[in-house]
Structure 1
Amino acid sequence: MGTEFEPGGAGHSRIAALYARDETCRALGIALDEVSSGRALMRMRVTAGMLNGHGTAHGGYLFLLADAAFSYACNSYGPVTVAQAAQVTFLAPAAVDDDLVAEAVERARSGRHGIYDVTVRQAAGKVVAEFRGQSVMLSGKPFGD
Protein backbone atom coordinates (compact mmCIF):
# COMPACT_ATOMS: atom_id res chain seq x y z
CA MET A 1 0.00 0.00 0.00
CA GLY A 2 2.87 2.44 0.63
CA THR A 3 0.62 4.55 2.82
CA GLU A 4 1.87 7.44 4.94
CA PHE A 5 -0.18 8.87 7.78
CA GLU A 6 0.09 11.88 10.02
CA PRO A 7 2.81 11.43 12.62
CA GLY A 8 1.30 9.65 15.58
CA GLY A 9 -2.08 9.55 13.85
CA ALA A 10 -4.50 7.25 15.61
CA GLY A 11 -6.29 6.60 12.34
CA HIS A 12 -3.54 4.47 10.81
CA SER A 13 -5.15 1.11 11.59
CA ARG A 14 -8.64 2.35 10.68
CA ILE A 15 -7.53 3.70 7.28
CA ALA A 16 -5.42 0.59 6.64
CA ALA A 17 -8.48 -1.57 7.39
CA LEU A 18 -10.65 0.56 5.10
CA TYR A 19 -8.13 0.10 2.27
CA ALA A 20 -7.87 -3.65 2.98
CA ARG A 21 -11.65 -3.91 2.41
CA ASP A 22 -11.52 -1.75 -0.74
CA GLU A 23 -11.74 -4.52 -3.33
CA THR A 24 -12.22 -2.10 -6.24
CA CYS A 25 -9.08 -0.05 -5.62
CA ARG A 26 -6.95 -3.08 -4.92
CA ALA A 27 -8.24 -4.95 -8.01
CA LEU A 28 -7.48 -1.96 -10.25
CA GLY A 29 -4.06 -1.34 -8.73
CA ILE A 30 -5.06 2.00 -7.19
CA ALA A 31 -2.53 2.70 -4.44
CA LEU A 32 -3.18 4.83 -1.38
CA ASP A 33 0.06 6.77 -0.93
CA GLU A 34 -0.75 9.36 1.75
CA VAL A 35 -3.53 10.25 4.16
CA SER A 36 -3.69 13.11 6.65
CA SER A 37 -6.51 15.18 8.10
CA GLY A 38 -8.73 16.13 5.16
CA ARG A 39 -6.20 15.05 2.53
CA ALA A 40 -5.35 11.94 0.51
CA LEU A 41 -3.08 11.02 -2.37
CA MET A 42 -3.75 8.00 -4.60
CA ARG A 43 -2.09 6.62 -7.74
CA MET A 44 -3.24 4.52 -10.68
CA ARG A 45 -1.59 3.32 -13.90
CA VAL A 46 -3.90 3.35 -16.93
CA THR A 47 -4.11 -0.13 -18.47
CA ALA A 48 -5.36 -1.23 -21.90
CA GLY A 49 -8.50 -2.57 -20.22
CA MET A 50 -9.37 0.98 -19.08
CA LEU A 51 -9.48 2.49 -22.58
CA ASN A 52 -12.64 3.70 -24.30
CA GLY A 53 -13.44 3.50 -28.03
CA HIS A 54 -11.28 6.58 -28.68
CA GLY A 55 -8.22 4.86 -27.25
CA THR A 56 -8.04 7.10 -24.16
CA ALA A 57 -8.75 6.36 -20.52
CA HIS A 58 -12.49 5.95 -19.94
CA GLY A 59 -13.87 8.80 -17.85
CA GLY A 60 -15.38 6.32 -15.42
CA TYR A 61 -11.92 5.21 -14.33
CA LEU A 62 -10.76 8.81 -13.89
CA PHE A 63 -13.87 9.52 -11.82
CA LEU A 64 -13.25 6.36 -9.78
CA LEU A 65 -9.67 7.39 -8.98
CA ALA A 66 -10.78 10.88 -7.90
CA ASP A 67 -13.71 9.49 -5.91
CA ALA A 68 -11.42 7.09 -4.08
CA ALA A 69 -9.06 9.90 -3.04
CA PHE A 70 -12.09 11.93 -1.94
CA SER A 71 -13.31 8.98 0.14
CA TYR A 72 -10.06 8.57 2.06
CA ALA A 73 -9.72 12.32 2.62
CA CYS A 74 -13.22 12.69 4.09
CA ASN A 75 -12.86 9.52 6.18
CA SER A 76 -9.50 10.65 7.60
CA TYR A 77 -11.16 12.07 10.72
CA GLY A 78 -12.75 8.83 11.89
CA PRO A 79 -16.55 8.96 11.56
CA VAL A 80 -18.07 7.02 8.66
CA THR A 81 -18.45 9.54 5.84
CA VAL A 82 -19.78 8.97 2.31
CA ALA A 83 -20.35 10.93 -0.88
CA GLN A 84 -23.53 12.94 -1.05
CA ALA A 85 -22.82 14.35 -4.52
CA ALA A 86 -19.90 14.70 -6.90
CA GLN A 87 -19.04 16.15 -10.28
CA VAL A 88 -16.03 15.88 -12.53
CA THR A 89 -14.63 18.00 -15.33
CA PHE A 90 -12.41 16.16 -17.81
CA LEU A 91 -9.68 18.48 -19.09
CA ALA A 92 -7.26 16.28 -21.04
CA PRO A 93 -7.10 12.66 -22.16
CA ALA A 94 -5.03 10.03 -20.38
CA ALA A 95 -3.35 7.24 -22.31
CA VAL A 96 -2.40 3.65 -21.64
CA ASP A 97 0.57 3.41 -19.25
CA ASP A 98 0.00 6.93 -17.90
CA ASP A 99 0.68 7.07 -14.18
CA LEU A 100 -2.07 9.21 -12.68
CA VAL A 101 -2.06 10.89 -9.28
CA ALA A 102 -5.22 12.07 -7.53
CA GLU A 103 -4.77 14.60 -4.74
CA ALA A 104 -7.81 15.27 -2.56
CA VAL A 105 -7.96 18.40 -0.41
CA GLU A 106 -10.66 19.45 2.03
CA ARG A 107 -12.15 22.86 1.30
CA ALA A 108 -14.80 23.14 4.05
CA ARG A 109 -16.55 21.16 6.78
CA SER A 110 -19.67 22.11 8.70
CA GLY A 111 -21.93 19.92 10.82
CA ARG A 112 -22.14 16.58 9.03
CA HIS A 113 -21.11 17.96 5.62
CA GLY A 114 -17.84 18.55 3.81
CA ILE A 115 -16.57 19.79 0.46
CA TYR A 116 -13.45 18.31 -1.14
CA ASP A 117 -11.59 19.09 -4.36
CA VAL A 118 -9.54 16.45 -6.17
CA THR A 119 -7.06 17.12 -8.95
CA VAL A 120 -6.05 14.20 -11.19
CA ARG A 121 -2.67 14.69 -12.87
CA GLN A 122 -0.35 12.76 -15.12
CA ALA A 123 3.06 12.04 -13.57
CA ALA A 124 4.56 14.98 -15.50
CA GLY A 125 2.04 17.29 -13.83
CA LYS A 126 -0.51 17.88 -16.61
CA VAL A 127 -4.03 18.13 -15.14
CA VAL A 128 -6.37 15.49 -16.57
CA ALA A 129 -9.48 16.11 -14.44
CA GLU A 130 -10.90 18.21 -11.61
CA PHE A 131 -13.43 16.68 -9.23
CA ARG A 132 -15.53 18.23 -6.47
CA GLY A 133 -17.24 16.01 -3.92
CA GLN A 134 -19.69 16.79 -1.16
CA SER A 135 -19.61 14.43 1.80
CA VAL A 136 -22.04 13.58 4.55
CA MET A 137 -21.14 11.95 7.86
CA LEU A 138 -23.31 8.92 8.67
CA SER A 139 -22.12 8.26 12.19
CA GLY A 140 -20.16 9.97 14.90
CA LYS A 141 -20.12 13.45 16.29
CA PRO A 142 -20.76 16.27 13.76
CA PHE A 143 -17.84 18.57 12.94
CA GLY A 144 -17.55 21.57 15.19
CA ASP A 145 -19.61 20.02 18.01
Structure 2
Amino acid sequence: MTPLETAKYIFSQDAFSQWLGIEILEIKEKYCHIKMPIKAEMINGLKTVHGGITFAFADSALAFSSNNMGEAAVALNCVINFTTAVRLGDTLFAESKLLTETRKTGIYDILIKNQQEDLVASFRGTVYKINKKVVDL
Protein backbone atom coordinates (compact mmCIF):
# COMPACT_ATOMS: atom_id res chain seq x y z
CA MET A 1 0.00 0.00 0.00
CA THR A 2 1.13 3.56 -0.66
CA PRO A 3 1.35 6.04 2.24
CA LEU A 4 -1.92 7.65 1.05
CA GLU A 5 -3.73 4.30 0.81
CA THR A 6 -2.49 3.35 4.28
CA ALA A 7 -3.59 6.69 5.78
CA LYS A 8 -7.02 6.36 4.14
CA TYR A 9 -7.32 2.84 5.56
CA ILE A 10 -6.41 4.10 9.05
CA PHE A 11 -8.94 6.94 8.69
CA SER A 12 -11.66 4.48 7.61
CA GLN A 13 -11.15 2.61 10.91
CA ASP A 14 -10.97 5.78 13.04
CA ALA A 15 -14.50 6.78 14.07
CA PHE A 16 -13.19 9.52 16.38
CA SER A 17 -11.23 11.33 13.65
CA GLN A 18 -14.31 11.01 11.44
CA TRP A 19 -16.48 12.52 14.21
CA LEU A 20 -14.02 15.41 14.50
CA GLY A 21 -14.64 16.11 10.82
CA ILE A 22 -11.00 15.67 9.82
CA GLU A 23 -10.14 15.75 6.14
CA ILE A 24 -6.86 14.45 4.76
CA LEU A 25 -5.24 17.06 2.50
CA GLU A 26 -1.84 15.52 1.77
CA ILE A 27 0.02 12.37 2.72
CA LYS A 28 3.66 11.60 2.00
CA GLU A 29 6.05 9.17 3.61
CA LYS A 30 5.96 9.92 7.38
CA TYR A 31 4.18 13.23 6.75
CA CYS A 32 0.60 14.46 6.71
CA HIS A 33 -1.40 17.63 6.29
CA ILE A 34 -5.00 17.55 7.54
CA LYS A 35 -7.79 19.99 8.32
CA MET A 36 -10.73 20.15 10.71
CA PRO A 37 -13.68 22.55 10.99
CA ILE A 38 -14.59 23.73 14.48
CA LYS A 39 -18.12 22.69 15.50
CA ALA A 40 -20.34 23.97 18.32
CA GLU A 41 -19.89 20.79 20.38
CA MET A 42 -16.12 21.51 20.54
CA ILE A 43 -16.58 24.80 22.43
CA ASN A 44 -15.90 25.03 26.18
CA GLY A 45 -17.40 27.28 28.87
CA LEU A 46 -15.07 30.14 27.94
CA LYS A 47 -16.39 30.12 24.35
CA THR A 48 -13.14 28.79 22.93
CA VAL A 49 -12.26 25.34 21.68
CA HIS A 50 -11.63 22.79 24.41
CA GLY A 51 -7.89 22.06 24.57
CA GLY A 52 -8.59 18.35 24.32
CA ILE A 53 -10.05 18.87 20.86
CA THR A 54 -6.88 20.60 19.63
CA PHE A 55 -4.78 17.87 21.27
CA ALA A 56 -6.89 15.15 19.66
CA PHE A 57 -6.55 16.82 16.25
CA ALA A 58 -2.75 16.86 16.63
CA ASP A 59 -2.80 13.25 17.85
CA SER A 60 -4.68 12.24 14.70
CA ALA A 61 -2.04 13.98 12.59
CA LEU A 62 0.60 12.03 14.52
CA ALA A 63 -1.23 8.77 13.79
CA PHE A 64 -1.63 9.44 10.07
CA SER A 65 2.03 10.44 9.63
CA SER A 66 3.67 7.83 11.87
CA ASN A 67 1.67 4.87 10.55
CA ASN A 68 1.42 5.64 6.84
CA MET A 69 4.30 3.36 5.84
CA GLY A 70 2.33 0.39 7.18
CA GLU A 71 4.36 -0.20 10.33
CA ALA A 72 2.10 0.32 13.36
CA ALA A 73 3.21 2.93 15.90
CA VAL A 74 1.49 4.21 19.03
CA ALA A 75 1.97 7.44 20.97
CA LEU A 76 4.50 7.12 23.77
CA ASN A 77 4.74 10.76 24.85
CA CYS A 78 3.08 13.94 23.59
CA VAL A 79 3.45 17.59 24.57
CA ILE A 80 1.35 20.49 23.34
CA ASN A 81 1.77 24.24 23.66
CA PHE A 82 -1.32 26.37 23.02
CA THR A 83 -0.47 29.77 21.52
CA THR A 84 -3.76 31.27 20.26
CA ALA A 85 -7.39 30.68 21.20
CA VAL A 86 -9.50 28.76 18.68
CA ARG A 87 -13.12 29.78 18.20
CA LEU A 88 -16.33 28.54 16.65
CA GLY A 89 -16.16 28.96 12.88
CA ASP A 90 -12.40 28.50 12.68
CA THR A 91 -10.83 25.79 10.57
CA LEU A 92 -7.67 24.15 11.85
CA PHE A 93 -4.84 22.73 9.76
CA ALA A 94 -2.19 20.37 11.10
CA GLU A 95 1.08 19.52 9.43
CA SER A 96 3.04 16.61 10.88
CA LYS A 97 6.68 15.98 10.00
CA LEU A 98 9.13 13.34 11.16
CA LEU A 99 12.09 14.86 12.98
CA THR A 100 14.09 11.75 13.74
CA GLU A 101 13.63 8.03 14.22
CA THR A 102 15.31 4.92 15.50
CA ARG A 103 14.45 1.30 14.91
CA LYS A 104 11.73 1.44 17.63
CA THR A 105 10.77 5.12 18.03
CA GLY A 106 10.03 8.24 16.04
CA ILE A 107 9.67 11.91 16.98
CA TYR A 108 7.24 14.12 15.06
CA ASP A 109 6.58 17.85 15.15
CA ILE A 110 3.03 18.99 14.43
CA LEU A 111 2.15 22.63 13.83
CA ILE A 112 -1.52 23.57 14.10
CA LYS A 113 -2.68 26.73 12.37
CA ASN A 114 -6.03 28.38 11.74
CA GLN A 115 -7.47 29.58 8.43
CA GLN A 116 -5.46 32.83 8.70
CA GLU A 117 -2.31 30.71 9.14
CA ASP A 118 -1.90 31.89 12.74
CA LEU A 119 -0.09 29.30 14.84
CA VAL A 120 -2.59 28.08 17.46
CA ALA A 121 -0.57 25.19 18.91
CA SER A 122 2.63 23.23 18.53
CA PHE A 123 2.76 19.55 19.41
CA ARG A 124 5.65 17.11 19.66
CA GLY A 125 4.86 13.42 19.71
CA THR A 126 7.07 10.43 20.29
CA VAL A 127 5.81 7.12 18.91
CA TYR A 128 6.78 3.55 19.69
CA LYS A 129 6.82 1.05 16.83
CA ILE A 130 4.94 -2.02 18.06
CA ASN A 131 6.32 -4.52 15.52
CA LYS A 132 2.97 -5.08 13.79
CA LYS A 133 1.51 -4.07 10.47
CA VAL A 134 -1.33 -1.52 10.39
CA VAL A 135 -3.55 -3.77 8.27
CA ASP A 136 -3.07 -6.72 10.64
CA LEU A 137 -4.52 -4.90 13.67
Structures share fold, TM-score greater than 0.5: yes
Give the deviation of 1:13 after TM superposition: 3.1
Normalised TM-score (structure 1) = 0.87
**Distance across 1 between alignment mates of 2:85 and 2:99:** 26
Give the deviation of 1:136 after TM superposition: 0.6
2:53 to 47, 61, 81: 61
1:79 to 71, 86, 96: 71
1:111 to 87, 103, 106: 103
Residue 13 of structure 2 corresponds to residue 21 of structure 1? yes
Q: Give the 4+ runs in structure 1 shifted more than 6 A.
A: none
1:39 to 31, 40, 45: 31
Over the aligned positions, Cα root-mean-square deviation in angstroms equals 1.5
Normalised TM-score (structure 2) = 0.92
Structure 2 gap ranges (5+)? none
Give the deviation of 1:15 after TM superposition: 2.2
**Distance across 2 between alignment mates of 1:124 and 1:114:** 30
Equivalent pairs counted in the alignment come to 133
Q: Secondary structure at the match of 1:138?
A: strand
Query: What letter corresponds to residue 135 of structure 1 in structure 2?
Result: V
Name whichever structure is richer in helix by fraction. 2
Identity %: 28
- Range with bigger deviation, 113-122 or 12-21: 12-21
**Distance across 2 between alignment mates of 1:140 and 1:44:** 29
